[in-house]
Chain A
Amino acid sequence: MSEEKTNGRNIGKIARRTFLASAGVVGGGVALGLALSPNRLKIYQDSVADGNETILNTWVKLTPDNKITVIIPHSEMGQGVGTGLAQMLAEEMEADWETVSIEQAPATDEYINSDLGRGYIVGEGARIPAFAYPMLDFAFLQIAKGAVGQITGGSTAIRLTGYHGMRRAGAAAREMLMRAAAKEWNVPINSVRAQSSILYHDASNRSAPFGTFAAAAAKFAPNLKPAMKSPADYKIVGTPKSRLDIPEKVTGEAKFGMDIIVPGMKYAAIAQAPVYGARAASVVDPANAAQQIVNLGNAVVVVADSYWEAANSLQQLDIAWSGGDLALSSIALRALHNEHLTETRHEQVMDKAGDAKAKLQSTETISVEYAVPYLAHATMEPMNCTALVRDGKCELWVGHQNPIAARDDAAAALGLKKTNVIVHNAYLGGGFGRRSSTDNVVQAALVAAETGTPVKLIWSREQDMSNDFYRPATVSRMRGRVEDGKISAIDHAYVFSDAGMPDSERPFAFQYDVPNRRIARHPYESPIPVGAWRSVDFTQMGFFNESFMDELAHKAGADPLAFRLAHKSDPRHRAVLERLADEASWGRPRTPGAAQGVAIVDSFETIVGQVAEITIDDDQRVRLHRMTSVVDCGQVINPSAAEAQIHSSLIFALSAVFFGEITLENGEIVQQNFPDYDMIRLRNAPVQPVIFMDSNLPPGGLGEPGTPPAAPALTNAIFAASGIRVRELPLIRAGFRSV
């Protein structure tokens, strides 16, 4: 092991690093940690520990003057993840919250958020998203080398990294400090207690701050299964701590990827192939205006001393694009979707019970079709990345949901070793799934390799909107039958383009008690790039299932909320619906003349029920007055940040249902900027009461679950108001507009 190869002076430091590494690779434990190379350990030490800091375990550092730093292996894109994770760790550590700060984990293998996988390994029943599978070798439960790493997605940070990792890291750190104090004071460990970053031995009236024991504590191995607190004793978790990232976001000091300044930096503007599959056959600069042109094949880049000059020069270029699928259009795609919907040869049956086919051979069966469009992410910060490639090394500055993939893909594109690529992850100006792709990163790396200088590549809004990994468009056919006021059978067929959603999350489930069910998807590979869009497959499935549930309620002549309750046996679902009826004043709208619609979706281990309250004027303009949300996400870590996530995810859904539609004509994306792809703003945002159910259950996700019910709650309200059933989105397809 590494100690033998080092000189005496460094043994202490190396031992500590070794220890820290062993704690880091939690799934594999000490053996894997010891297998880390000295090189790796050096990176580790250089990247994390400064000066007098002592690293207690992978996720927490402590200084002699009692300052605690929590290392965050997830990206901050508005969800307050650093604060929430730090709260979970500080709670179990018995830390003084006022002394806690956070630091972004370096994008190195040691800081992969392996606790995603650990939940599975330690058998705590957590669902592991598919993107985490490569981390696990199921034969040996080892963490696969260089697989995936610091992914922020799937609403996993709190429910997996936090619940299975950060809490345990905090508790283990506290135990180590208590052991150090017990040893120093020569008393049994169980007579030592920790409170607010101070260790006490009450019998002898001794006490000392955590920092006093930092170095001594680090000599102990962390207990991988430390005792953890009962939620009843929580003092930090469950309180609305101010988010640690907010102060610098009101002064303009927060640095997003877009804001990085590297000395000697050039700026690059990009024109990507307007038609999928086209290549830049020739590039002519008639005005001879461009400082430097880089032809990437599927994109042309101009580099200049300022972005504006680069963008202007790019516009003047005469680029001849060749190839690509010019016949691609939304009309053609819709026809293909419909073909796939009726074609059952490749169907995948996702859920089956009883005999739905037999039950639905009835004239009582209702059969309807739904359709939803492609959607762009349209993060406020357009895609960008700053890169420097020099002397066989690459540095990247970018706000990214998956910085390890950014590193790996840049390394592959440049032919460099991964360890020669460093990613500096910045704040993300919105992610929503878009910033888990590495297209912008690879482009910047390739351009920087050409220029030899640092280069900041900036996509225009038009480039951003027309080169997305879109939420897949799809069509759905739902059939169902109501007998004696209850749903006796349901059959759902839908066209499926894979956007990365793990089947284990069961987005396809019809979340009601129905004895005869058949749910089948018909795979269809989208001809344009698709990817995860906030709540992924739940956005489409939530709309189909919750719209159809409303249609069945109408068929049964039942109240939509009571009808849902009549088909729910899960007590948590029932409690959410009952609370929602109360909080939203169901059946007695607060707005005179308003109509209400309800929807409830369980996604990412969180249940969200919503009631929309609307009026429609004579010009078919819909005003959404209120959207009340009742949420059961188990234990709430930070009520203020949690409420913000529900606001955020429902506004995201509402922008889509009112305005969102990406279409294709002649192979090109039609929508280019916000006027063609409009957004909810202050004037048409509803009042948004959010109620969390009291719960000590393990936390569910919160970044996404507020999205799926919003569209059907709204369209169900439109049905209640107008008798018109919206089966295609956005609303304009049914003739409705926003106020």
Chain B
Amino acid sequence: MKSKMLLFVIALFAMTQAMAQNTLIDRAGVASFFSEAPMEDIEAVNKEVLGAIDLEKGTLAVSMFIKGFHFDKSLMEEHFNENYLESEKYPKATFKGKITDYANLDLTKTGTYTAEADGEMEIHGVKKPLKTRVEFKVTASTIEAKTAFEISVAEHDIEIPTLVIKNIAEFVDVKASFKFAR
């Protein structure tokens, strides 16, 4: 009885290990956004983004803290957290999705590939579907992934008061890049 149990546990453990090996994680991914408005440009960078790719299934995941975005102007950063993204209520932005047509993509061979990621983005507690082109650069030791897309501020229920509407753009350009060690 006891040995059977132990065997079962070991088997389970082995399975998780096997799965983990197909998953690459980058803990220092970079996400940035830029918005151009009549009054001022707004730019912020987050260098502590977690990104993961499951090479077996072609699934992707990204998770980052809103407070990890840093601005040149500290007051802008405070307003971003406090007034717009409400980061104490909604601390993270996440993405969960898969690479479409993953069967035709081989990320084990070195080279540069373009693929489409299809999934769901959650910002400010609002989930929206997101389709974006991802550029993969595979080298002997790393897999780099890069993407750029646009998000609508209004679609994520981020309110902009009329008083500052000239300072903030309705659409924000987002860039993200990851470097996974193979």
Same assembly: no
A-contacting residues of B (Cβ < 8 Å)? none
